[in-house]
């Protein structure tokens, strides 16, 4: 019963929002859902790799950090794509996107290697592929 | 079968707890704001992921498991936004990161070229 009321309410809100013309393509990028099936597992694997690296750095007695600030370019075409890229950078332990303007992201990385891996642009290409051709 | 699930879920729970502990330790050991954020991101990804996965295995195929998945998705979507907001706020407040290597050439995204010294 509660679930039915919830479903009815959600439908009502969606209906009202579309009547008020609040909906746009960025609101709920449902066209990305199919590609998310391979993007999410890839991102989770990246997070696990980076997370164990950062854990090793924290646990090692010498604390071998070499904080690096670096600018990377985002090659995505839509706002959703660039935000996905910046969020992926931040979500991966060891790299945090500090500032974002147009297609340039300033990233703080905990090690120099992490910054160089990011500058190589593998993650950028994967997110671009995730964004795909049909976006916006 | 029950036994295997229990062991597996405890492995995930303990791993998640261990990553939370490592993250907390990192918070204490790191020298400045930005490096501490990296330590925190271990907690909010691997620590949270391990604990929630362990709880899902305990819950089995129920509504509770579905709710746990939704909570995990919510944390994964909102945590980077909060981290980014914190880092950006620190930068705008004039707290400069302690750097070994600065590869930006003094240019931070969004600044005018002319305002660089």
Is A124 within the bounds of a domain? yes
Average pLDDT over residues B63-86: 90
Please, which pLDDT band fits residue A24 given cuts at 50, 70 and 90? low
Q: What is the pLDDT of residue B51?
A: 94
- Residue B89's Cα: distance from chain center in Å? 18
Q: What is the pLDDT of residue B7?
A: 93
Option in A63, A67, A101 nearest B34 (CB): A67
How many separate helices (H) and strands (E) can be counted in chain A? 5, 3
Q: Rounded distance, CA B48 to CA B56, Å?
A: 12
A135: which 2 tokens? 């976006």
B11-41 residue pLDDT tens? 999 999 999 999 999 888 888 888 888 888 8
A89-100 residue pLDDT tens? 888 888 888 888
Please, which pLDDT band fits residue B108 given cuts at 50, 70 and 90? low
Please, which pLDDT band fits residue B117 given cuts at 50, 70 and 90? very low
> Could you tell me if B37 lies within 8 Å of chain A, comparing CB atoms?
yes
Q: Which residues of B touch A110 (CB under 8 A)?
A: 35, 38
Instruction: Indicate the burial class of B11 (C-beta count within 10 angstroms; 0-12, 13-18, 19 or more).
Output: middle
Top-confidence residue, A30 or A20: A20
> Could you tell me if B12 lies within 8 Å of chain A, comparing CB atoms?
no
How many separate helices (H) and strands (E) can be counted in chain B? 4, 1
- Residue B79's Cα: distance from chain center in Å? 7
Q: What is the pLDDT of residue A31?
A: 66
Please, which pLDDT band fits residue A134 given cuts at 50, 70 and 90? very low
Is A2 within the bounds of a domain? no
Domain of residue A122, residue span: 27-131
Q: What is the pLDDT of residue A36?
A: 73
Residue of A nearest to B25 (CA): A58
Is A10 within the bounds of a domain? no
A116: which 2 tokens? 């160089």
Asked if the model's pLDDT at residue B113 lies above 60, the reply is no
Answer whether A112 sits within 8 Å of B49, measured CB to CB. no
Q: What is the pLDDT of residue A78?
A: 79
Asked if the model's pLDDT at residue B96 lies above 60, the reply is yes
Average pLDDT over residues B83-107: 78
Q: What is the pLDDT of residue B53?
A: 92
When divided into structural domains, chain A yields a total of 1
Among the listed ranges A17-26, A104-113, A120-129, B56-65, which one has the minimum average pLDDT value? A17-26
> Could you tell me if B28 lies within 8 Å of chain A, comparing CB atoms?
no
Is A18 within the bounds of a domain? no
Q: What are phi and psi of A95, to 5 degrees?
A: -135, 135
Q: What is the pLDDT of residue B21?
A: 93
Q: What is the pLDDT of residue A23?
A: 65
């Amino acid at each position: 019963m509660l679930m039915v009321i919830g479903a009815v309410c959600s439908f009502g809100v969606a209906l009202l929002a579309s009547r008020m013309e609040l909906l746009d393509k960025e609101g709920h990028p449902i066209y990305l859902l199919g590609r998310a099936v391979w993007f999410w597992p890839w991102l989770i694997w990246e997070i696990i790799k980076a997370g164990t690296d950062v854990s090793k750095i924290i646990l090692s007695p010498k604390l071998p950090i070499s904080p690096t600030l670096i600018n990377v370019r985002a090659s995505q075409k839509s706002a959703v794509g660039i935000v996905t890229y910046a969020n992926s950078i931040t979500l991966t332990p060891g790299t945090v996107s500090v500032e974002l303007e147009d297609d340039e992201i300033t990233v703080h990385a905990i090690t120099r290697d992490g910054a160089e891996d990011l500058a190589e642009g593998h993650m950028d290409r994967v997110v671009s592929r995730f964004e795909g051709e049909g976006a916006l | 079968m029950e036994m295997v699930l229990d062991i597996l879920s405890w492995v995930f729970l303990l791993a998640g707890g261990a990553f939370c502990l490592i993250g907390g330790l990192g918070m204490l050991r790191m020298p400045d704001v930005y490096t501490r954020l990296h330590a925190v991101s271990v907690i909010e990804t691997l620590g949270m992921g391990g604990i929630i996965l362990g709880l899902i295995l305990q819950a089995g195929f129920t509504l509770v498991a579905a709710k746990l998945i939704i909570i995990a998705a919510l944390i994964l979507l909102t945590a980077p936004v909060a981290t980014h907001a914190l880092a950006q706020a620190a930068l705008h407040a004039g707290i400069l990161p302690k750097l070994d290597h600065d590869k930006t050439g003094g240019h931070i995204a969004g600044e005018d070229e002319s305002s660089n010294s």
